[in-house]
Chains A and B, each alone.
Chain A
């Protein structure tokens, strides 16, 4: 194994963590993979506070300077509000680094169904319903 590969691998892991599991069941999973969980850290560039789903847009930059644009789908703003996350919370974090917890899109595009976002002041805010239905079996791919 070369040094370049090891360093590259470590840098990749510093951006995205993946937990894999064999079990998955949910209606939304035509589009998203509820057996996988990703955390994506980046700058919140904009959001859409509309129905039927709110959307978050993130820009992540890896150590090599490569920029990736992400789109995350959340729940309806009406239920997001009822769960305690408000439009003002998102306004306050545009331009700041957040970490999104989501299930990734099945088509390999940089999209996900978001459950929560960890924002600049350390709070974890709910932006979607439970999406990850992993079995919890450690190491299962």
Chain B
């Protein structure tokens, strides 16, 4: 599609441009969709393979199949990685950057690192057959994160945390301070009574973290002050859960509103000239899918727009 914009391309550059578009998946077309689905399915199959392979009976019965499948997957992922590195030179070439800007950005991005780390250790094993298999399997497991390229859940989460970073950091700060305070106190109060459980402040911190996470730190306090501290820690754990819930709910609502505002802007610009062309319609559809908005939300925004138009027309008449 964009190839038309640069007619003086050589055929190799044209191929590169196409590869970039397909891999990046920004422009909707059926090849990029195919690549997306294929890689996603392969990743899911890989994860299922890793899970099944850990069962000794299954591993013994299908050892060769698993190996062949792994070789195939590594080959596909290697080709994917190389193609991405090669074609991402196109990313900034039209906005004044050099070929290596796009490549560098990809290689050092989250996905670039995941793509690399989940594939390359396989070759290391070929070179050094004695390496610890468990480490290798752990790297293979990283392939699961390739899926997040095709699902906005992770990005949404990061965006939400970023938008609410003040609340999050104050929650973390509170947790940190109370961890220091409470574990020191419990060490001072109960350290003499139960030296095997609270021999040091780090050990007491361990107790604190378990109590915060699970609500009960597996320790029966012996002293009165100790029981008081345990109860306070448990209340703190409930408070922490409440704070987290509140922050997430706020962040999520804010995000929904942000999306609606974005979409509304697009609808407004589409309606500005009075008619909605097919192209604009398609763009709106794509935007709706990308922002993950439901049909009801879109409907209510459109309704609101019509209402506004109505009112402004009435005002004009008046």
> Are A and B genuine complex partners?
no
